[in-house]
Amino acid sequence: MRFKTLIAIAVVLVITSFTIGYYLSISRVEYYLSSSEIEWLVKSIAEDVSVIRNLTFKELPNVVVVNKSYVLSTWGSEIPEEVLIFGDILKMTLLVPKDYNISSSYRGLLGIWVAASAGNTVYVVQEYFTRGESPLVQRVLAHELTHVLQYQYFRTPPTHTLDESLAIRSLVEGDADVVADEYVSIKGLGVVSKVSSLTLKDPFIDIQLTPYIFGSRFVEYLLSVGGWGLVNKAYEDPPKSMKYVMFPQKYLAREGVVDVVVNVSCRVVHEDVLGPSYLYVMISKYFNESYALSMSSEWLGDKVVYCVNNTYKVLNWVIKWSSSKSAEDFYRTFNYVLSLNNATSVDGLWFVNDLRLSVYVVGDEVLITSYSIRSPN
């Protein structure tokens, strides 16, 4: 149980900050800041964050200084089962090639943390904190300190699907990014790197980036409509799908999401809703981000059901679209993705490496079934 808790914390930590580190190339470090210097820096930035966010710290955050090898040995030794299944989903939906190794992507994320927060504690990775207090490090701390405020004032509900979890993370990360941007602006720190688009190199990482890419736009939209009061209120009624984050007008208009039903007779190992941001990453990889955004705006719901039997792993994915025309557009798009993967077609089935796929459009739904032969253990 304790192990599970640690992993849960690790996932939270990954979510909170890795992306900022992603763009930070470590140059040669000569002088690290001491723990007391880092603590002083955190306290001074906390005062500004409190003013910007219009919330007072109920208690000052704890600061824990760790180093990179501690991060990897503590949180990177075991890969959660859900992450391994997600690796299969990525392969079976053609987002990554057959030899893609999600474990190394997952560990790679841990290796690029700069700082993270869990509850009232801000963890900082000492190797990134050098004398000179770079603007990037200040921005990271402003971002993490906003997470501490969120922890002290708001609670987010448990999530059940990838789509739901990315959506709530978008509110949390968007809030922290907007505060961090304002901090950079009032301090006159100039242009500071931040995540604003996909890497287009690793779909697993790109999916983790979508809460940052769309989250700040979502929070900025709420701010423009109803100030921080509306943002605070969003924690009571958080967006439950990336549809609301990517298209915030749909959040305020309370547009619905369809609960898609998939009937299967196999042994179900995992069920999920991948959501419009998954499609966004897929279509961006093969086409471009503007087409991906326009296609994603027509998403109404989806369900993926992952089964395993003695011979095959089977993925059933049903995606519901706003109209039969949009469903046909996606059907054509996915067929093009198949051809880009050099798939061969025999009797209506597609073959790509060890995968066998079928794709149908029925009214406003697209049904994709993907079989993979299980490798002997």
Query: Residue 265's CB: how many other CB atoms inside 10 A?
Result: 6
The tokens describing 189, both together, are 């720190």
Compute how many residues bind Zn ion; rule: CB under 5 A. 3
Determine whether 149 is exposed, middle or buried from the number of CB atoms within 10 Å of its CB (0-12, 13-18, 19+).
buried
Of residues 160 through 179, those in contact with Zn ion by CB under 5 A are 173, 176
The CA distances from residue 205 to 8, 40, 212, 306, 320, in Å, are: 18, 33, 12, 21, 25
Is the Cβ–Cβ distance between 177 and 212 less than 8 Å?
yes
Helix or strand holding residue 104 (H, E): helix 102-110
Identity of the residue, 173 or 272, whose beta carbon is nearer to Zn ion in the bound complex: 173
Least distance (Å) between residue 154 CB and Zn ion: 14
Identity of the residue, 117 or 333, whose beta carbon is nearer to Zn ion in the bound complex: 117
Q: Which residues contact 257 (CB under 8 A, 6 or more apart)?
A: 240, 241, 243, 300, 301
| Helix, strand and coil in the chain, % to nearest 5 | 50, 15, 30
Least distance (Å) between residue 302 CB and Zn ion: 27
Using CB under 5 A, which of the segments 15-23, 72-80, 180-188, 253-261 binds Zn ion?
A: 15-23
Least distance (Å) between residue 139 CB and Zn ion: 11
Using CB under 5 A, which of the segments 12-20, 230-238, 300-308, 324-332 binds Zn ion?
A: 12-20
Least distance (Å) between residue 370 CB and Zn ion: 33
Question: How far from the centroid of its chain's Cα atoms is residue 357's Cα?
Answer: 27
Partner residues linked to 62 by β-bridges: 121
Q: Is 16 in the site for Zn ion (CB under 5 A)?
A: yes
Least distance (Å) between residue 40 CB and Zn ion: 22
Of residues 53 through 72, those in contact with Zn ion by CB under 5 A are none
The tokens describing 230, both together, are 């509306």
Parallel, antiparallel or unpaired: strands 365-373 and 355-362: antiparallel
Question: Quick check: helix, strand or coil at residue 130?
Answer: strand
Identity of the residue, 18 or 299, whose beta carbon is nearer to Zn ion in the bound complex: 18
Q: Is 138 in the site for Zn ion (CB under 5 A)?
A: no
Identity of the residue, 176 or 281, whose beta carbon is nearer to Zn ion in the bound complex: 176
Token pair 């941007």 is found at 181
- Contact string 175-214 vs Zn ion (x = CB under 5 A): -x--------------------------------------
Q: Which residue is nearest to Zn ion (CB)?
A: 16
Least distance (Å) between residue 210 CB and Zn ion: 13
**Residue 126 DSSP one-character state:** G
Token pair 């391994």 is found at 84
Identity of the residue, 16 or 326, whose beta carbon is nearer to Zn ion in the bound complex: 16
Of residues 228 through 287, those in contact with Zn ion by CB under 5 A are none
Least distance (Å) between residue 236 CB and Zn ion: 20
- Contact string 322-361 vs Zn ion (x = CB under 5 A): ----------------------------------------
Q: Which residues bind Zn ion (CB under 5 A)?
A: 16, 173, 176
